């Protein structure tokens, strides 16, 4: 007997997998799609799964969910908390957690497909369900496109999707136009000369070099970006050395650079590289830093007309008071690459997942940033209901807005 949706969610949460390693998850969703009677394609960009249901004349709607998890040690205390570990792209053994809600995204898409299959006499069109790998690293959407995604499926008329957000469960957020920031991820290696910690004069310390660089990078947004522009430069990783009495020979940093304007993004990238090179030279580094690009995602833009259609459809389904405009977000997504590659509109919305009472109490105490864990936190723990049911119904309702109703 197939797992219920809440059982499936708990199972996926307990068994997270890193980007391009979603083999177990992919097998599960492929089987569910096969059992639902869809045409299933597997192994796209290694672990991607796509399922197609042709159900008569009408629009072709692509629903997308991402499947990968993050290298985070879970600290939620849930009975189904992850204790999984994985190997990251650098070969390190790391804890793995669904700290961004992709397990819920996947479960909601499974549920929406199964609902639409069960009610197929009430609509006409073609449904495409895309279960994407590697949203969190290296760009799974682009990898699927490069692996011939749109050569294997019908041409969609619209791309739809959703993402968990620390809003009250029962709330949906749709914002037309520019919605999420572009991101450029940089991996940087800075070089020094190693030696004994008691003889710093014989070394070039990359730890000091990197520390000075991190502090100087904080001036990029503060002093090189106009106050009316929006930008973020985050140093998310900094690694150097293995022992406290050894000055290492190199240090590595991982940076995330975000903006809403391509000119601002280009200036950020140029400034970041200039500062890193200059700090290396100021420290007497024996060679220039090395730069390697990671994921590069464009600005996520919701088609205004399609967004209004989705907003109206969700308002009819749940009540207009439960569908809000959350404004723009500095978070980034690669879902827009699917719509751009297909040349069709995108609508991507937020799905609230926080216990409403806990949210209200935190808001009343002006402690939302303190008491409500956000995505990528080790304490990120969506309430399963009403999040799951609403996520399933939201995807189905949005898809039905494009499908034809038989006479």
Give the C-alpha distances (Å, rounded to integers) separating 328 from 182, 227, 245: 12, 17, 47
What phi and psi, each to the nearest 5 degrees, are found at residue 224?
-120, 0
Contact 302, 179 (CB under 8 A): yes
User: What gap in Å lies between CA 400 and CA 125, rounded to an integer?
Assistant: 9
Question: Is residue 102 a known part of a binding site?
Answer: yes
Bridge partners of 19, per DSSP, are none
CA 345 to chain centre: 19
User: What gap in Å lies between CA 256 and CA 183, rounded to an integer?
Assistant: 7
User: What gap in Å lies between CA 206 and CA 189, rounded to an integer?
Assistant: 10
Question: Is residue 108 a known part of a binding site?
Answer: no
Question: Is residue 163 a known part of a binding site?
Answer: yes
User: What gap in Å lies between CA 132 and CA 106, rounded to an integer?
Assistant: 9
Q: What is the pTM of this model?
A: 0.93
User: What gap in Å lies between CA 29 and CA 393, rounded to an integer?
Assistant: 18
Contact 114, 32 (CB under 8 A): yes
CATH of domain 182-296: 3.30.70.360
Could you list the active site residues? 68, 135
User: What gap in Å lies between CA 145 and CA 126, rounded to an integer?
Assistant: 20
Bridge partners of 182, per DSSP, are 259
Q: Tell me which CATH homologous superfamily contains domain 5-181+299-400.
A: Zn peptidases (3.40.630.10)
Q: Walk along the chain (407 residues) in steps of 10 and give the mean pLDDT of each run.
A: 95 98 98 98 98 97 98 97 94 96 98 98 98 92 97 97 97 97 96 96 97 97 94 96 96 97 94 98 97 92 98 97 96 96 98 97 96 96 98 98 86
Joined tokens for residue 5: 């949706």
Please report, for the chain, the start and end positions of each structural domain, with discontinuous segments joined by +: 5-181+299-400, 182-296
Joined tokens for residue 403: 């499908």
Looking at residue 407, its pLDDT comes to 63
């Amino acid at each position: 007997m197939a797992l219920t949706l809440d059982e499936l969610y708990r199972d996926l949460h307990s068994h997270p997998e890193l980007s391009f390693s979603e083999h177990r998850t992919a097998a599960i969703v492929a089987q569910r799609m096969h059992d639902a009677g869809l045409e299933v394609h597997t192994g796209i960009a290694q672990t991607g799964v796509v399922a197609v249901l042709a159900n008569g004349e009408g629009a072709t709607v692509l629903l997308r969910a991402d499947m990968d998890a993050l290298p985070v040690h879970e600290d939620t205390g849930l009975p189904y908390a992850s204790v999984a570990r994985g190997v990251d792209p650098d070969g390190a053994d790391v804890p793995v957690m669904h700290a961004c809600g992709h397990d819920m995204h996947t479960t909601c898409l499974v549920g929406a497909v199964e609902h639409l299959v069960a009610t197929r006499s009430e609509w006409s069109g073609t449904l495409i369900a895309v279960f994407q790998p590697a949203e969190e690293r290296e760009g799974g959407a682009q990898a699927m496109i490069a692996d011939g995604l749109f050569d294997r499926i019908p041409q969609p008329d619209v791309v739809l999707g959703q993402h968990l957000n620390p809003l009250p469960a029962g709330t949906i957020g749709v914002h037309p136009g520019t919605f999420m920031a572009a991101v450029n991820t940089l991996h940087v290696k800075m070089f020094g000369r190693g030696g004994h910690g008691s003889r710093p004069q014989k070394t070039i310390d990359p730890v000091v070099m990197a520390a000075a660089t991190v502090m100087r990078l904080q001036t990029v947004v503060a002093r090189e970006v106009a106050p009316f522009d929006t930008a973020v430069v985050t140093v998310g990783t900094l690694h150097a050395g293995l022992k406290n009495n050894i000055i290492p020979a190199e240090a590595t940093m991982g940076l995330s650079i975000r903006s809403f304007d391509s000119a601002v993004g280009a200036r950020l990238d140029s400034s970041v590289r200039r500062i890193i090179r200059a700090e290396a030279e100021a420290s007497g580094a024996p060679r220039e830093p090395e730069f390697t690009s990671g994921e590069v995602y464009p600005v996520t833009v919701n088609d205004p007309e399609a967004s209004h259609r989705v907003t109206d459809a969700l308002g009819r389904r749940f009540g207009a008071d439960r569908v809000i405009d959350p404004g723009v977000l500095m978070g980034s997504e690669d879902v827009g690459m699917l719509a751009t590659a297909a040349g069709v509109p995108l609508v991507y919305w937020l799905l609230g997942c926080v216990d409403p009472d806990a949210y209200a109490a935190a808001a009343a105490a002006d402690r939302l940033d303190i008491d409500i864990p956000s995505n990528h936190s080790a304490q990120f723990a969506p309430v399963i209901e009403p999040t799951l049911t609403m996520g399933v119904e939201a995807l189905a309702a949005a898809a039905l807005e494009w499908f034809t109703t038989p006479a």
